[in-house]
Chain A
Amino acid sequence: MDSVKNQSTSITNINAKKSINQTTANQAKELVIKRDDVTGVRGVNTNKELLIAIMVPQMDRFQLKAIEKSVKEELTKEYPDYKVQVSTDQKMFLELDILERKLEKGKTGEKELKKELGNIKSLMKEEA
């Protein structure tokens, strides 16, 4: 429904495009992938939040928590305007990957993006 609406009214379209501008996420991804202990990064941002999922190779997984923390600190320093969330979870990586592809196709509106991000975040909060 939303995407159809966005296409028909030009003003909403521009706004939607502005709000789902992914340059911050792209920059952050390039910054994080430079680390030796990170082999894969997926990330999405809204205008207030930045969600990043990282993949850590086998032997470095012993320092999983420490790596997660240091990546988060690095990104918070780089982007103080955003609320940064970093996860090493496989599920988060997967979901963000799907979301990124959706964004690339340009079919996802701002509302949809926020809803998806909310879903992902609530998934992360669950504990075993």
Chain B
Amino acid sequence: MSNKKKKKLTPVQQEYQAFQDQRETKRPVFKNCMKAFLTGGIICLIGQAIQTFYIYFFDFTDQTAGNPTVATLIFISMLFTGFGVYDRIAQFGGAGSAVPVTGFGNAVISAAIEHRTEGFVLGVGGNMFKLAGSVILFGVFSAFVIATIKTILITWGGL
């Protein structure tokens, strides 16, 4: 609560605020950060292993191996979401499981599962992209803007 608001409170309220601050369980920020770091790191380690696998056993280079790796990771996270395992991982890892691309797969599938009872078209179809749709839209739109800037720079700026 900001200082401005605090001044408006009555003495009793201020007293209560102090009491509450004392009793409130402190958030273990550092511990959470470490958990998120470890979880995200392990997910990325698995991703790196998949990428190396694609480079060694298929015709992918460092440049092109990224696409199948992302697809595989999203597929795995979708399976895990369906089986209810990803929820447990997310509870432990927090942002560490939401920031990598697996969190994106989880956002799509969990929304689809949640609205399954409302029917396949209006339920699953209409709600699947409620969470992840903005991510896709933002990605596509910013890619469009960057591509436009690049094209203008190359054709007119002579880069």
Contact surface of A with B, Cβ cutoff 8 Å: 89-92, 94, 123-124, 126-128
A71 to chain B, nearest CB (A): 17
Interface size on B, residues (CB 8 A): 12
Given contacts A126-B63, A126-B64, A128-B66, 11 further A-B contacts (CB under 8 A): A89-B62, A89-B63, A90-B52, A90-B61, A91-B55, A91-B61, A92-B61, A123-B59, A127-B63, A128-B63, A128-B67
B30 located at the interface, meaning its Cβ lies under 8 Å from any Cβ of chain A in the complex? no
Can you identify 18 A-B contacts, CB atoms within 8 angstroms? A89-B61, A89-B62, A89-B63, A90-B55, A90-B61, A90-B62, A91-B55, A94-B55, A94-B56, A123-B59, A123-B61, A126-B61, A127-B63, A127-B64, A128-B63, A128-B64, A128-B66, A128-B67
Query: Nearest residue in B to A126 (C-beta to C-beta)?
Result: B64
Instruction: List the B side residues contacting A128 at CB < 8 Å.
Output: 63-64, 66-67
B129 located at the interface, meaning its Cβ lies under 8 Å from any Cβ of chain A in the complex? no
Instruction: List the B side residues contacting A94 at CB < 8 Å.
Output: 55-56
Q: Do most interface residues of chain B lie in helix, strand or loop, or is the interface mixed?
A: loop
Q: In whole angstroms, what is the CA distance A124 to B62 when docked?
A: 9
Instruction: List the B side residues contacting A126 at CB < 8 Å.
Output: 61, 63-64
B80 located at the interface, meaning its Cβ lies under 8 Å from any Cβ of chain A in the complex? no
Q: In whole angstroms, what is the CA distance A90 to B55 when docked?
A: 8
Instruction: List the A side residues contacting B37 at CB < 8 Å.
Output: none
Query: Nearest residue in A to B66 (C-beta to C-beta)?
Result: A128
B39 to chain A, nearest CB (A): 23
Instruction: List the A side residues contacting B61 at CB < 8 Å.
Output: 89-92, 123-124, 126
Q: In whole angstroms, what is the CA distance A24 to B61 when docked?
A: 26
Q: In whole angstroms, what is the CA distance A87 to B55 when docked?
A: 15
Instruction: List the A side residues contacting B67 at CB < 8 Å.
Output: 128
> A91, A92, A128: which has the most chain B beta carbons within 10 Å?
A91
Interface set, chain B 39-68, CB cutoff 8 A to A: 52, 55-56, 59-67
Instruction: List the A side residues contacting B66 at CB < 8 Å.
Output: 128
Q: In whole angstroms, what is the CA distance A114 to B128 when docked?
A: 51
Q: In whole angstroms, what is the CA distance A123 to B63 when docked?
A: 10
A90 to chain B, nearest CB (A): 5
Q: In whole angstroms, what is the CA distance A127 to B87 when docked?
A: 36
Instruction: List the A side residues contacting B55 at CB < 8 Å.
Output: 90-91, 94
A60 to chain B, nearest CB (A): 16
Contact string, B12-47, partner A, CB cutoff 8 A, digits 1/0? 000000000000000000000000000000000000
